[in-house]
């Protein structure tokens, strides 16, 4: 009687029990009932199968549109593996990810087609264009030509891969995180529990769905008959308009979006309490207080793509919830406690021993349980390294307070987290080294009021060579997405190194941050 665990079962339940509820709305486009949405899910699943891609790897490149959201259910329903792509990359980066993930079919929104069309053609990948315009008409015809009746869930093994999500990590080439049906269902159930989503909820997609499957938000609201509101472009005015127009009750967002919503130039007091999950970097206590004063209830969560992705929550007791926001906000700004389905989340020393709960002793956050990734796709070395000693090593350095609350202090990884986007310092350094004038390059995070942190490059030039920051920026942007480009360049005769020749990044980072605590994931 046992059936495999899969988030598709949440979708199945929603389609069965709430046929007349509004399932999906896209402002300025269309909206669908659960009955209509089911027809689209099964139509696309059959179209993928008819095209010979059942069981294959199928990529999606789309902003938060109804077409993009559809792929998270329909592609796995065809027995295929979905590969969500970041919408802000360069053709060169798309080429690597599409090739590494062995993608056969690409579903792309018409607004992004020109970024990837040539790459897909060179790799021999079939492309279907989605959208509301003329370019998306053929896609709609494909769906309309298919039988819209329900299909059985095709999952035979809950440990099969459902998505491959790329994360930069600390290496120059991004790694493909294989998440399973079991991983993603348990994460989705956690989000329903902690965020208190039910049939009357309206979930606004302000978090990019490609970010670790929207933290489960691409599946979980369907399970209880809630309504999804897709927001292709995240601006404060568009978000506030959707909040009031559609009765939004929940949203997830990086702290940069919270700063956008609390900006005095655009901030509005909402007419109902809206639950907000935030991660990517801890929000400042001031931001939490400002959100509270506008009527938002902020919950901080922590995790990584590799753990499906959420494993801790800044949970408060009833007494703490009753505190004034000025005292409550600093507690919410800490990472908190392991979630109910996260398994074991410990801060450990190098000997895999839990650190004392003194708020001072540093250790690394490690995890073992049902949310840990299956592995990195076609990268067994990275998989083995990440799971040494039977624990997944996050690379994040933290302390544990006497009440058991985890607080991150630093990270082993040199990832720069800018507005919720992971930027590999090694990747940027590699591009800078390719410039003929550059002898040495070290990239570290520097503070930024809007994005939390952004890349800063320390450069040592070859003798008698000259180059301007503007020239280096053009060079980087020719190879990488714009958000990865350093926002500041410091030119030095030499860069600090250890006796063995390793760069001492902590010295350079200290110059930029001083006594200010660095925002961390």
Is 91 within the bounds of a domain?
yes
pLDDT of residue 167: 86
The stretch 366-373 carries a mean pLDDT of: 98
Confidence band (pLDDT; 50, 70, 90) for 412?
A: low
182: nearest Cα among 194, 193, 174, 190: 190
Whether 285 has a pLDDT exceeding 70, the answer reads: yes
**Residue pointed to by tokens 């200010």:** 516
Q: In this predicted model, which residue has the larger pLDDT, 330 or 189?
A: 189
The stretch 87-94 carries a mean pLDDT of: 92
Name which of 95-99, 279-283, 423-427 the model is least confident about.
Answer: 279-283
Confidence band (pLDDT; 50, 70, 90) for 246?
A: very high
Confidence band (pLDDT; 50, 70, 90) for 500?
A: very low
Is 317 within the bounds of a domain?
no
Regarding whether 202 and 112 lie in a shared domain, the answer is: yes
The stretch 428-441 carries a mean pLDDT of: 89
Domain span at residue 388 reads 343-411
Structure tokens at 250: 């929940």
State the total domains in the chain: 3
The rounded Cα 48 to chain-centroid distance in angstroms is 26
Regarding whether 435 and 355 lie in a shared domain, the answer is: no
Is 31 within the bounds of a domain?
yes
What CATH number should be reported for the domain holding residue 379?
2.30.38.10
Whether 411 has a pLDDT exceeding 70, the answer reads: no
What CATH number should be reported for the domain holding residue 507?
3.30.300.30
Q: Which of 231, 253, 275 is the last residue of a domain?
A: 253
pLDDT of residue 79: 98
The full 3-state SS of 44-95, as one line of letters, equals HHHHHHHCCCCCCEEEEECCCCHHHHHHHHHHHHCCCEEEECCCCCCHHHHH
Regarding whether 462 and 386 lie in a shared domain, the answer is: no
Q: Which of 376, 394, 411 is the last residue of a domain?
A: 411
Regarding whether 501 and 387 lie in a shared domain, the answer is: no
8-36 burial, b at 16+ Cβ within 10 Å, e below that, comes to bbbbbebbeebeebbbbbbbeeebbebeb
Is 519 within the bounds of a domain?
no
Regarding whether 425 and 397 lie in a shared domain, the answer is: no
pLDDT of residue 287: 82
Longest dimension (CA), the chain: 75
Regarding whether 353 and 458 lie in a shared domain, the answer is: no
Q: Is residue 418 within 8 Å of residue 452, measured between CB atoms?
A: yes
**172-230 confidence digits (pLDDT tens):** 578 999 999 999 999 999 999 999 999 999 999 999 999 999 999 999 999 999 999 99
Is 422 within the bounds of a domain?
yes
What CATH number should be reported for the domain holding residue 213?
3.40.50.12780
CA distance 195 to 226: 13
**Residue pointed to by tokens 């909040």:** 243
Is 302 within the bounds of a domain?
no
226 HSE (CA, 13 A, CB side): 26
Regarding whether 449 and 400 lie in a shared domain, the answer is: no
Q: Is residue 298 within 8 Å of residue 332, measured between CB atoms?
A: yes
Measured on CA atoms in the order 344, 350, 352, 356, is the torsion positive or negative?
negative
Between the CA of residue 68 and those of 32, 148, 153, 215, what are the distances in Å?
14, 19, 20, 15
Regarding whether 450 and 389 lie in a shared domain, the answer is: no
3-state secondary structure of 189: helix
Whether 150 has a pLDDT exceeding 90, the answer reads: yes
Whether 105 has a pLDDT exceeding 80, the answer reads: yes
Regarding whether 50 and 83 lie in a shared domain, the answer is: yes
Is 276 within the bounds of a domain?
no
- In angstroms, how far is the first alpha carbon of the chain from the final one? 41
pLDDT of residue 218: 98
Regarding whether 185 and 246 lie in a shared domain, the answer is: yes
pLDDT of residue 277: 96
pTM across the whole model: 0.85
Q: Which residues contact 124 (CB under 8 A, 6 or more apart)?
A: none
pLDDT of residue 260: 86
Regarding whether 82 and 197 lie in a shared domain, the answer is: yes
Whether 424 has a pLDDT exceeding 80, the answer reads: no
CB atoms within 10 A of CB 373: 26
Confidence band (pLDDT; 50, 70, 90) for 265?
A: confident
Instruction: State the Cα angle at 166 between 81 and 118, rounded to 5°.
Output: 80
Q: In this predicted model, which residue has the larger pLDDT, 360 or 285?
A: 360
pLDDT of residue 409: 74
185: nearest Cα among 32, 12, 17: 12
Regarding whether 84 and 43 lie in a shared domain, the answer is: yes
Whether 28 has a pLDDT exceeding 50, the answer reads: yes
Is 54 within the bounds of a domain?
yes
Q: Which of 358, 392, 411 is the last residue of a domain?
A: 411
Question: Which run of H or E residues covers position 196?
Answer: none
pLDDT of residue 362: 86
Confidence band (pLDDT; 50, 70, 90) for 22?
A: very high
Q: Is residue 210 within 8 Å of residue 257, measured between CB atoms?
A: no
The stretch 463-468 carries a mean pLDDT of: 91
């Amino acid at each position: 009687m046992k059936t495999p665990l899969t988030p598709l079962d949440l979708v199945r339940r929603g389609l069965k029990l709430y046929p007349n509820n509004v399932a999906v709305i896209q402002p300025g486009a269309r909206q669908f009932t659960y009955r209509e949405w089911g027809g689209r899910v099964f139509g696309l699943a059959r179209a993928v199968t008819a095209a010979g891609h059942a069981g294959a790897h199928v990529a999606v490149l789309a902003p938060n549109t109804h077409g993009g959201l559809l792929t998270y259910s329909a592609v796995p329903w065809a027995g295929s593996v979905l590969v969500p792509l970041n919408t802000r990359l360069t053709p060169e980066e798309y080429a690597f990810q599409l090739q590494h993930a062995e993608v056969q079919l690409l579903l792309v929104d018409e607004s992004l087609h020109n970024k990837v069309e040539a790459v897909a053609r060179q790799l021999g990948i079939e492309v279907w264009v989605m959208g509301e315009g003329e370019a998306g008409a053929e896609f709609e015809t494909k769906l309309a030509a298919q039988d819209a009746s329900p299909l059985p869930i095709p999952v035979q093994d809950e440990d099969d891969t459902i998505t491959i999500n790329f994360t930069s990590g600390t290496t120059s080439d991004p790694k493909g995180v294989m998440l399973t049906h079991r991983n993603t269902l348990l994460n989705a159930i956690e989000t329903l529990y902690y965020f208190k989503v039910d049939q009357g909820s309206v979930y606004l997609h302000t978090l990019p769905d490609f970010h670790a499957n929207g933290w489960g938000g691409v599946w979980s609201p369907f399970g209880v008959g809630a309504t999804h509101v897709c927001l292709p472009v995240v601006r404060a005015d568009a978000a506030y308009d959707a909040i009031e127009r559609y009765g939004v009750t929940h949203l997830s967002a990086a702290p940069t979006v919270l700063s956008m919503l609390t900006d005095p130039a655009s901030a509005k007091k909402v007419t109902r309490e809206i639950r907000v999950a935030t991660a990517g970097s801890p929000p400042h206590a001031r931001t939490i207080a400002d959100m509270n004063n506008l009527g938002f209830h902020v919950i901080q969560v922590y995790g990584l793509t590799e753990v499906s992705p959420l494993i801790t929550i800044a949970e408060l007791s009833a007494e703490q919830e009753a505190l004034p926001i000025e005292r409550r906000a600093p507690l919410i700004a800490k990472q908190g406690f392991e979630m109910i389905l996260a398994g074991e989340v410990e801060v450990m020393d190098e000997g895999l021993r839990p650190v004392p709960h003194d708020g001072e002793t540093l250790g690394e956050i490690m995890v073992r349980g049902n949310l840990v990734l299956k592995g990195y796709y076609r990268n067994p070395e990275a998989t083995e390294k990440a799971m040494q000693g039977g624990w997944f090593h996050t690379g994040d350095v933290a302390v544990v307070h006497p009440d058991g609350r985890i607080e991150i202090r630093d990270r082993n990884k040199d990832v720069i987290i800018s507005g919720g986007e992971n930027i590999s310092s090694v990747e940027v350094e590699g591009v800078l080294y390719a410039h003929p004038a550059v002898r040495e390059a070290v990239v570290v995070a520097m503070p930024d009021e809007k994005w939390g942190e952004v890349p800063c490059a320390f450069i040592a030039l070859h003798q008698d060579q000259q180059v301007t920051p503007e020239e280096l920026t053009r060079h980087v942007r020719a190879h990488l997405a714009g958000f990865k480009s350093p926002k500041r360049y410091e030119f030095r005769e030499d860069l600090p190194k250890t006796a063995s020749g390793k760069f001492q990044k902590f010295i350079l980072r200290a110059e930029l941050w001083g006594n200010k605590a660095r925002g961390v994931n």
